[in-house]
Structure 1
Amino acid sequence: MSATSAAQLRGWVTPGRCAALAWLAGLLFTVLLRMRLPGQERAEVLAGVVFLRWDGLTMLALATALALRGSFLLDRRPTAGLGHLLAAAVLCSFPLGVTAIPLAQYLAVDVALYTIAAHRPTKEAERAAFLAVGVVLGHLAVRLVAGWTAGTTTALAVLSTAGLVWLLGRSARQSRLHAEETRARAAEQAVIAERLRIAREMHDTVAHSIGIVALQAGAARLVIDKRPELAREALGEIETASRETLAGLRRMLGALRTADTPATSSAPASGASAEPALPDMPGLASLDRLAETTGAAGVRVTVRRVGAVRPLPPDIDLSAFRVLQESVTNVVRHSGADRCTVTVDLRDPETLALTVEDPGPVPGHGREKSGGGSGYGLVGMRERVGLLNGEFSAGPRPGGGFRVTAHLPVPPGAAPA
């Protein structure tokens, strides 16, 4: 079964439809029990006095209408739907001439109980369980008080199934909540790891800039008396490096300061790729090297540069390269494509636009996808772009394949790398 067919089937199978099918199946089973089928000398269960009379058929029709109404409400108002289904089960027991609510007529109630236990809060699930048990016990008590025969064994069987499906629903809810919590925790750890990586890279950038400042300051101190023009030039270099370093810190320090990062953590972001052939602090100038190393992995990377190439601030240059590097790595690992296109748009002087897109899997291509991936690489890219007040998007292309886009603002007058 294809993924599309499975998704369509899951969309069709709703709790309300399951409850309606359970009621109709239970009703059909009840009717068949009261009919002599081929190979039988007589019916398994004797029909009630009013079963085939107009009043019995009317009660069966009203019970079915209540059950279908309850099934319709189950998807939007589960508790109200459960009430309708319980009323239908009680009403249906009268024309059948039984001593307790039959298990076949309680199947739809079991579906409703499971739905509420699996998808609703604890208090609402507990109220639903008390209501379902209370109706069965109340029906039994009324028969006992009236002096009628009471089907205690049947009632116990009905209550046992109700308790079982309620416990299964609560277990399914706990499992789902645990899985969601695990995914959220993993995504949070991916963000923290990416922030730590950015912090380390920012540290290297700042350390490099401060080293230049210290070197130029020392040179200026030595020549300020004999060669003031050289001291003036050194002071200009100091000003440029200081302004650039300060601008980078202002853009990223505020967000990094709020990250809840353990002091001993040094793990890289999940899904981040390490390219040993690339320098420790790469930038967009390393794109051709990245394309070359990616080609060895079986994916041809076409690099397009739109607009005049110009130097960028170190933090923006580094973040732009990391986004493109991670996007290309995702193409290699997860897309099944044999090529991708990397576009660097520099036409807008205030914005750096990045795009990575692939055409999707190639039938019969030798290289296969390595897996669906955790999705935390996208989390890391979005976090990195967000720290620079940029815009990030990733999703399928209209014609097939996948596209990642990022727009990084370039501060006006920022000193180049």
Structure 2
Amino acid sequence: MRTTPGSPRPWLRAHPLVADSILAVVLTTASLSLVVLAGGGSAEWQTGATRPYDPLGLVLAAACTLPVALRRRWPFVLLLATIVPQWTLDAMGYDDGLSGLGPLVLLYSVAAHRGLALSLAAIVADLLAYGVDAGIGRGPMPWTDHVVVVVVALLCWVCGRAVRLRRAYLAELMQRADRLERAREADTRAARAEERSRIARELHDVVAHHVSVMTVQAAAARKMLDADPEVARDALTAIEEMGRTAMAEMRNIVGVLRTDGPAELGPQPGMQDLPTLVEQMREAGLRTQLWVEGERRGLPPGIDLAAYRLVQEALTNSLRHAGPAARAWVTVRHEQNELSVHVEDDGRGGADGPARVAGKGHGLVGIRERVALYGGVLRIGPRTGGGFEVRARFPLKDRP
């Protein structure tokens, strides 16, 4: 139910003791007023005369309804406590007014705020107390009156249990919503971390490869600038083209970081671009050969990119560490359920191998992450007979 602005209901819900005290005062005032107005005479439903009211009767009547003020703190104890004044009123022949409403409110409170065992004990105690009270009362009552009293008590208990179950259900829904929200936030953080890692790997591969090639070509151009300006000019042209290519790839990768709309990404490189990569390495001074074995088939995009970046990183390391007279070989083998990639060189593998395996750069770490991501097997280390090699096998599942 909606509450109007300025309504006291939210404040009363925040201060339950005040609301219960108001309820207790209202019940007590109504009960005492009814007793006083009756003047000790007989009511229509009573079978015998009632005792004229006196201070003792008023105190006993008030003792049946005032405990309602603390119904949320000790409902079961107060329910048992109101049985004694209720018995005393009936045993001494006083008009009990509305004193019977106090135990009903406390019975409802036990069912609404306590567990099932205590609430069952409360309904049993209330019915037993009513049975004893009927035996010590002023006279016999029609059986229909007893049925009405029992039904009313059971309704109060059932309503209290329904409220408790509904409150527990709503609390469970809120906890479930909180858990789902926390799980969603955790998934979002994990996805963001994975995306940052992926972008870092892509940026490293692009920057490391192109900058390494540009550095080698710039060194060659510097050496040939006076001896052969034409060769130096060709090297500078290659550096310019390589720089433009690097900027284009970096713009494509960084495009995923835009927050003002979908990124306009170009196609990612793949194994079909290996001839171009090998040609770039040859222009940079690394004599590279490429062999492709087996029937070429369409590769999953992730494996296609991972295998290309592996070859790119391995050739870049050969260009940087193998030496000016080194040669490199790239062998790609397409099998039915596996893609095998082998990159090797005959450079200074024996001297620089440990450094290249356990270097401080992120290139080889990125290679390991890419291969592990797709369940592949990777070997990096010195090559038999000198040099360095990188071997990787990517499993291909559900190939047509």
Task: Normalising by structure 1, report the TM-score.
Answer: 0.45
Task: Normalising by structure 2, report the TM-score.
Answer: 0.47
- Larger RCO: 1 or 2 (CA < 8 Å, sep 6+): 1
